[in-house]
Structure 1
């Protein structure tokens, strides 16, 4: 079983974040520029929320609010589900599926050290399955003559 640590080790170490008092337009610009679909909300280096493209679309754009005037804290998700480095990718995926979420902040010793997305987990699981298939093919080919 692969862990969150193994998955994070394969990703860039950058944490994309905004303070809660920034405006939604800033979050959207960061998501566009950094090519991510959610951003952590940090206040004094403490995780206080997460905001996604969906949050921005459903809570700001759809009702016709102005993204340049709406604060991130008014649309962010405050009730956070986080994971630890030793958690398995399978448990992360189960949590994401059960709760209909796509991003999990990773916490180590009380500090945010990254985010795993459903895409990260799927890529990691597919990579592991490919390695297992390669191993089995080699094993079978090595025993065909016996």
Structure 2
């Protein structure tokens, strides 16, 4: 189970993407329709950022910006950390934990192929990381 690779997690995904020029309101509506908490921001099929519910709260709502007038590109997380399909699930989860991310785009040969979120992983993988952290803290 701890050796599971990313394709096992992201198979059959239908990615939600948006152009950076689109409004935050458009992104929010698409996210709500799909019941997801992130949208991948692309420019000509290349990943340029990720826009999440956390970005919406912190960079739009709390900042008093207009969702109708604010382009996603102005409030997205640019140049996100990515993983490849060969990345082990436990490695992806470590990256998320260390970086404080909830989502990691999956890129292969420069092409966006998926996205993983913390909730995609089994509890035993999270438990494994917590055990490792506790061990390091004791050392």
User: What does residue 57 of structure 2 align with?
Assistant: 57
Alignment pair present for 1:2 and 2:28: no
CA distance in 2 between partners of 1:101 and 1:123 (Å): 17
CA distance in 2 between partners of 1:106 and 1:71 (Å): 24
User: What does residue 90 of structure 1 align with?
Assistant: 90
When residues 34 and 123 of structure 1 are mapped into structure 2, their CA distance, relative to the original with a 3 A threshold, is farther
**For each residue in 1:116-144, what CA deviation from the matched residue of structure 2 results, as whole angstroms up to 9, or x when unmatched?**
11000236849xxxxxxxxxxxxxxxxxx
| Cα distance, 1:5 vs structure 2 | 1.2
- Partner SS state of residue 30, structure 1: helix
**Misfit runs of 4+, over 6 Å:** none
Equivalent pairs counted in the alignment come to 124
What runs of 5+ residues in structure 2 fail to find an aligned partner?
127-139
What runs of 5+ residues in structure 1 fail to find an aligned partner?
127-146
| Cα distance, 1:84 vs structure 2 | 0.6
| Equivalent residues of 1:83, 1:104 under 8 A apart | yes
Structure-2-length-normalised TM-score: 0.84
| Equivalent residues of 1:7, 1:124 under 8 A apart | no
Alignment pair present for 1:69 and 2:69: yes
Which of 1 and 2 has greater Rg?
A: 1
**For each residue in 1:79-116, what CA deviation from the matched residue of structure 2 results, as whole angstroms up to 9, or x when unmatched?**
31001111111111110000000000001121001101
| Equivalent residues of 1:19, 1:43 under 8 A apart | yes
RMSD: 1.5
